Amino acid sequence: MDYLILLIPLLPLLSALVSHLGAATLQRRVARLSVLSTLATFVLAASVLGMALSGEARQEVALGADWGILLFDPLSALMATVIAGISFIVHLYSVRYMVEETGYPRFFVLLDLMTAALLIMVAAGDLITLLIAWHLVGVFLYFLLGHDSRSQSAYRYGLWTFITYRLGDLPLVLAAVVLFQAYGTWSLPEIFARLAAEPDALTYFSLPVAEVVGALVALAAFARSAQFLLHTWLPYTMEGPTPVSALMHAGIVNSGGFLINRFAPLYIHTGDVLHWVFIVGLATAIIGSMLMLSQNDVKKSLGYSTMGQMGFMIMECGVGAFSLAIFHLIAHGLFKGTMFLNAGGVIGEARHDDGVPKDEVYTFVVERETPAVKPPWLLMMAITLLFPVIVLLVSHLWVSPDLFQKQGAVILLFFGWVTGAQLLFSTYHMGGTNPWRLLGLILFSFIVVVAGYTLISHAFDQFLYDDPRFAAQLYAAAGIDILWFDILMVVTTAVIVLGWVRAYRVDKLGSRIDQKPGHWWMNMYSLIAREFYIVDFYTGLSRRLVAVSARLNTWLRWG
């Protein structure tokens, strides 16, 4: 087992070293070596995951006295398998995609180094190893995004990403300093054991260790996972090679969810921090989804889609559903990586033929024509409101009878109900020549998706956090005051009610859905189209900082 744990990050490191030293001799065969080493890494990681699934006990491999620790546990085994698998697909795709680019061997060397850094990061069992790997991921990403040195925009936004990542590194460094000052060790298992024994320990300025470190770790996760106000690097890094975009959106940007899960034993003592994590994730999910809908560029739209999904992932951590966040980041990584690798083909086909069939969905979305036949309005309202909640409750009570004792689970169920109601609400508007057939297919799909999602998420919870008491502590820490809980439910319900009021106005009072939008709507659209002016603000701020530094340079005669 010790050799397997060491070989998993060592194989891509050896591949990078051999490719770099033998680039002149191997030339394009570097790609074959890189692909084979990544495939071997995936096989080894899958073997370790199989051992974890079979109940193998947690193990550590220490390269130093108190650092250089690689940890084998369910979280590291699962994440290593996902990273190696996605990296293998990206490597395989890059063999032909990058063949006409300059620096072909260098690209695969960087891919191997990135894979090794990610694998070390998820297996790090001490703070020093975690910090080194966390930092190197940002460095290698900068070089991968700027692989084409002739592209000024790729260099500019690669640097933008690098700066954002460095800002996100600072809170994690401070968290490591606070933990070492409080417990005198770099080892994460030892830190978590001492934290459990002394949850009220204090640090500098008599501040609680758990709350301070929890907030700092969350800030580091926000920067890496493109949460609101720290998100601008993500949608603007599309000038880099497509394989890099796929790897970044499928694996690197998910690091925030992993980091919070790695520090899960800390967060059972930091309820207030989890509340802020939930608020930030919720704001990011809403704003990212809004900005995604306003884009006319495919890859930029995918970037904002990733931002919204990362918001949902962080929000799940904020309600205590840590294992669900891991399932979310894996499912999103596989889905979004596939979309990015296929984006070029979709754009190329669309330039020749849009290929959009003239069915009821196209008629409603594009031509904005309402169907002649619709199901009864009251019946559809009842189906929209009742069907999702029945399916969600039955499926979750099937695997977790104590559902209503977990406030976070209830919040997630509530958002699931809103999403399901929105889906059926849209179906009601589509109608078409056979609205009942369309409705039946969507209801059946909803049942299959919810049942599968519930079973898989429950399996993740059992695998990652097999101690029911620990999982209950996470949910308890994320609990909020009953008044705020009720307000959240009422506000979300009001959104559903307002949607049905508008539907009633359209259907019963003769309001036209294609009427000219009002002044308020146009202002709102302008605000969203300009991305809430956040990018403009950061651009102006950077120009002012450059101007101030130039003046200081002149006054102090440094130049």
Position 361 pLDDT exceeds 60: no
Distance of CA 557 to the CA centre of its chain: 46
pLDDT at 349: 65
Alpha-carbon gap, residue 8 to 59, rounded angstroms: 15
Alpha-carbon gap, residue 295 to 234, rounded angstroms: 14
pLDDT at 103: 85
pLDDT at 398: 72
**Cβ neighbours of 445 (radius 10 Å):** 11
Token couple for 73: 């546990």
Alpha-carbon gap, residue 554 to 551, rounded angstroms: 5
* DSSP SS3 for 126: strand
pLDDT (average), residues 259-283 = 92
pTM here?
0.85
360 near 426, Cβ under 8 Å? no
> Pairing between strand 69-72 and 59-62?
antiparallel
C-alpha distance from residue 507 to each of 6, 9, 362, 423 (Å): 65, 60, 20, 18
* DSSP SS3 for 470: helix
Q: 71 or 352: which carries more pLDDT confidence? A: 71
* Closest by CA position to 268, among listed 465, 479, 473: 473
* pLDDT tens profile 191-210: 999 998 888 888 888 889 99
Per-residue pLDDT band at 351 (split at 50, 70, 90): low
211 near 268, Cβ under 8 Å? no
Torsion of CA 201, 206, 210, 214, to 10 degrees: -160
Residues 6+ apart with CB under 8 A from 43: none
281 near 316, Cβ under 8 Å? yes
Mean pLDDT of the chain: 82
* DSSP SS3 for 144: helix
Residues 6+ apart with CB under 8 A from 488: 411, 414, 480
Looking at residue 62, the DSSP 8-state letter turns out to be E
Return the HEC string of 519-559.
HHHHHHHHHHHCHHHHHHHHHHHHHHHHHHHHHHHHHHCCC
Position 121 pLDDT exceeds 90: yes
* pLDDT tens profile 386-438: 777 777 777 767 766 766 666 666 777 777 767 776 666 666 655 555 666 66
Hey, where are the domains in the chain?
1-125, 161-355, 370-515, 525-559
Position 373 pLDDT exceeds 60: no
Return the HEC string of 261-302.
HHCHHHHCCCHHHHHHHHHHHHHHHHHHHHHHHCCCCHHHHH
